[in-house]
Structure formats: structure tokens, C-alpha cells
Chain A
Amino acid sequence: MMDDRMDRISAYLDGAMSAAEAAAFEAEAAENPSLAAEIEAAGALDAEVGAAFDSLLDAPLPPALLATISATTTPGTRLEEARPTVAAATPGGEGAAPAPDVAEAEPGVPGQAALGGGASSVGGIPAGGNPPREEMPPPAYAAANENRQPFFSSSIAAALALLLVGAGAGALMTRALVPGTELADGHATRGWMDEIADYHRVYARQVAHLVEVPASEKDHIETWLGKETGVPFSVPDLAASGFTFQGARLLVAGGKPVAQLLYTDADGQVMALCMLGREGPGSEEFTPRSFDGVEMVRWLAPGAAWVAVGEPGMDLEAVAREAAQEV
């Protein structure tokens, strides 16, 4: 059953190869269409696995679980202290906002998603008063809960129920909190930017087939990718930074459509601007990040996250600043 080829594809997709190994593997794939196809299929399979697992996050939590959690919290000590936060975390009307996008657009971005702690993550949900308990829990749950814990745990549980069941806000909070969390050794969890880096490693070497739609069809690219990503934009002219627009591709990363605009410099080195739609305002910050030989600078525009992707040594921040003016 062990499949040596899949071992290598897995190591490649999972970031377990060194940069040199990955480059050698890519070179091999460039010569071997069946291997390249298999890598692509494995990547597509991963996307399906991700979508399937992610769909679980929105499932309502079972009442029995919530009841146990509130019942096992010691009244009078931690719980007393905890209650105001939980109540404050009750989503108001906008809990049902087109929610997951904000967080989903940003996994893997340090400083953005790795929130300081529970309090700040809760702060992302609009505050409301302590909810009147009779409005909150689904009836079946309220009954189950009252059998277990006659104290104030129903209001905790009500807040919980709202948080976790109501409008998927629990999933939203979790996503806001978890993706991109830096683990103990500093490795950030894998997100859409990692996927973009993977694409870059592959496409930057496709000299003869760099783009899906060539630069000559710039207007079409803007219409097409603007529609697919849901974000209207103009292809930036980066001649001042020494980059020539070559054309575009549509990618999928983080389960969302991503516009990839490809440029080359005078030496033929490839730089890409990638964009995906998100909820939320823009920001003035240009954040550099390295992905094993692929460099990125990311910024946020209203309704979109952008990254400039290139090789070490490129002044991507200058490119990003220039592009941010033009898109």
C-alpha cells in the first residue's frame, strides 16, 4: 500500500522538504507530466479534505456537551470571574454577518490572526448585555441544562449556546483565534499564503506557460477575475519598479478563488500579485513574510487581501506600495 511517489508528493505538499529537495522535486515534475498531474490532483484532494473538515466547524454543539462544560466549571471561583466575559461575548445582531471570511482570508498571518488572548478575541464580537435567559437556549437544551445545574449556569450556557450555535459565531470566533496561531517553535499554521507560496514555486518556473490569460487581454482579466473573486480591481502598472505584466491565472487558496497577476523583471524573474476577497476595511500595513524561499509582502485593501510574491532579493515592499496605489 505504501506508495513511494505519494510519500514524496506528501512531503512536498506538507512542507517537509528542504528548499533544495523541493526545487529538485519541482524540476523532476517539470519533466514528468504524470508526476505533475499527480501533484496537482493531490493538492485538489487536500482542498476537498479541508472543505469537508471545515464544514464541521459550523455544526451546532450538542446541548449535553455544553451542559457538562458549564456544570464542571466551579461556581464561585473561576466561573464567577468568567461570567462577565462570557456574557459580553454574546453576539449581537451582527453575529450572522457573512462571517467566516474575515478570518478565513487571513490564516497563517502572524500578528493578524494570532490574537493576544481570549479577551481580545471575544472583543471581536459585539458586546451585548447579559442575555435574558428565556430567550437564549433552544428549549431542549434549556431543559437538559436545568436538570444539571440549577445555578446561573443557564445564563452561561445560554451565552454559550448563542456563541456556539447562533449563526455560527462560535466557529467564527474560533477561526479568528486559531488560524495562524504561532506554535511553540514559531511555526505558523498553514494558510492561504502557504498555498500561494506553493503555487509560486510551481508557476514561477513555467516560463513557456506562465499565464492562463495573457497581458494583451488585460480588460478581460479585470472583468473575469474581478467577477470570480468578487473584488473589482485594475491590473497595476508596475513598470516604475521594473516589472512587466505578463498575464493572469485564477487559483484557489484557502478554499477561495484567488486572482494571480504575474509579472517578470528584466532578468525574467517572476513576481506575482495575488488577491482574494475578504470582509473588512483596508490597512496601511505592509507585512513581509518568508515561505521557504518564497518571499511575500501582504497588505489589506477594503474587501480584499493582497500579497506581492517573489524571490529573495526583490524589493517586494516597494512593489506592494506601488501596487496598492494602483489596484
Chain B
Amino acid sequence: MQPDATDFQAELLASLPRLRRFALSLTRHPSEGDDLVQMTCERAITNAAKWNPEQPLLPWLYTMARNLWTSEMRKRQVRTGEGTVPAEEAAELVSHAGGEEATRAGQVMAQIMALPEGLSSVLLLVSVEGHSYAEAAAILDIPPGTVMSRMSAARVRLRAALAGEAA
């Protein structure tokens, strides 16, 4: 028996919705986010033996996803000189609930996805998932000061964007 393998499998399964959400915050594009989740899971399964079951799996997966995305972006910049395309269709992802709430969540999500690169993932990690600036900085491999300025910039921009929408 390899109890660690079953643990790993179960944890990976349980991590998928959150991993997918994080990947979307990095790529800001649903299908690219899913591609990234796919690559991350492949790599995670390959490297499963390196996972320490004492440690939570998600930060490990997040760091892996961020690494993959960073190198993907580098490749693209070399190849085409272009980065990614901000997603406008994020509202489609918010499909489970009906009525007004879904619409509002979709609007907010669309504005989050339209933030400049690097802001949505910081917003997710810090504001939604409660990571400290230092933890978010470690996952994203950026200085803690940058996490702080991105959080502030994200809030200022979202506030303006959503105020504009409500008006």
C-alpha cells in the first residue's frame, strides 16, 4: 500500500476548484487558465514524491502554477512580443447561481479579470484567501512591497470601475 499516493490523489482532487481559480487569476483568460491547471496537475503528479504530506498542497500547487505561467509568458514574449489578452468573458464562469446575485458576481468578476496583469492574483491570494503579503510574495515570487502596491492599485481600480458601472 502507498497511503501517501491516495492522500496525494485525494488532495489534488480537492484542490482543483481552487487551483483553477488561482490559474484564472494569473492568466485572466478561462481557457488559458484551464490549460495552466492541466499543466500544473501533470507536473504535480510527476513530482508527487516530492510533496511533503505534512504541508498543505495548495501553496505548493500555486507556486508550481505560477512558475509555469511565468515561463510560458517569457516564451510568448520571445516568440511574438505579446503578453496575454485580458478576458472579458469571465462572467460566463459564474453560472451556478441564478438571478441578481449571479449577475453581480459576474460583473465584479469581469472587472477583476480586466485589471492589469498581476493584480488579480494578488487580490485573490490576499483579500480572498487571506494570505499575508509575505506569503503572497513567496507564491508569486515578487517583493512584498509589490504585493502591497498591487493590492492598493487593485482596490482603487475596482472601486472606480464598479462605481462607473453602478452609475
Contacts and interface: CB of A to CB of B under 8 A. Distances in A.
Contacts of B135: 183, 185, 187
A81 interface: yes
A14 B151 contact: yes
Interface in B67-85: none
A76 B49 CA distance: 16
B141 to A, nearest CB: 16
B45 A52 contact: no
A68 B94 contact: no
Contacts of A114: 56
Interface in A42-89: 42, 45-46, 48-59, 61-62, 64-65, 68-69, 72-74, 77-79, 81-82, 84-86, 89
Given A45-B155, A45-B159, A68 B41 contact: yes
Given A50-B127, A174-B16, A174-B18, A10 B9 contact: no
Interface in A20-49: 41-42, 45-46, 48-49
A156 to B, nearest CB: 9
Given A48-B104, A55-B97, A178-B15, A68 B6 contact: no
A237 interface: no
Interface residues on A, range: 35 or more
A119 B3 contact: yes
Interface in B1-54: 1-3, 5-18, 20-21, 24-25, 34, 37-38, 41-42, 45-46, 48, 53
Interface stretch (A1-9, A126-134, A221-229, A275-283): A1-9
Nearest to A122: B10
B156 A6 contact: yes
Contact of B94 (A59, A176, A190, A191): A59
B126 A14 contact: yes
Interface residues of B, number: 70
A16 B124 contact: no
A107 B152 CA distance: 24
Given A9-B155, A16-B133, A89-B13, A119 B7 contact: yes
B50 to A, nearest CB: 13
A210 B3 CA distance: 53
B149 A7 contact: yes
A164 interface: yes
A282 B159 CA distance: 40
B163 to A, nearest CB: 9
A191 B130 CA distance: 7
**Residue from A49, A59, A173, A190 whose CB has the most chain B CB atoms within 10 Å:** A49
Contacts of A41: 159
Contacts of A168: 96
Given A45-B158, A51-B108, A57-B17, A69 B38 contact: yes
A108 B34 CA distance: 28
B37 A65 contact: yes
B9 A86 contact: yes
A118 B7 contact: yes
A107 B104 CA distance: 24
Contacts of A78: 2, 5, 8-9, 45, 48
B114 to A, nearest CB: 12
Nearest to A85: B6
Contacts of A85: 6, 9-10
14 contacts: A48-B104, A51-B101, A68-B42, A69-B38, A73-B9, A78-B5, A78-B48, A81-B1, A118-B9, A119-B10, A121-B14, A168-B96, A173-B13, A184-B55
The 7 closest A-B pairs by CB, nearest first: A190-B130, A118-B10, A82-B9, A52-B108, A118-B11, A189-B130, A118-B7
